[in-house]
Amino acid sequence: MSTNTDVSLSLYDEGQGSKFIRKAREAPFVPIGMAGFAAIIAYGLYKLKNGGNTKMSLHLIHMHVVAQGFVAGAMTLGMGYAMYKEFWTKPKP
């Protein structure tokens, strides 16, 4: 009774950096969405600190909607890219 534990244990030996790079290659729009979300949040915090006369709740709602829209757009583009790779670039048998 031999078990194939070498293959299953090799996935656990993967470091966080190499795992992130592997996942980014599989789905390139995920890091783009994460970076865009972080940039929008940073911009929102900057505008909140140096901002003018807008109410805090209105500012937070606007930033929430913009960040959510960016992430949803990146996910949509990622799905479109995955569908393109799956259905149109595969060689026909």
Cβ within 8 Å of residue 63, ≥6 positions away: 40, 41, 44
The band of 62, judged by pLDDT with boundaries at 50, 70 and 90, is confident
Decide if 9 is inside a domain.
no
Decide if 2 is inside a domain.
no
Q: Is the pLDDT score of 83 beyond 60?
A: yes
* Predicted local distance difference test score (pLDDT) of residue 45: 82
Structural domain that includes position 53 = 16-88
Instruction: Report how many domains make up the chain.
Output: 1
* Predicted local distance difference test score (pLDDT) of residue 88: 82
Give the mean model confidence (pLDDT) for residues 86-93: 75
Decide if 48 is inside a domain.
yes
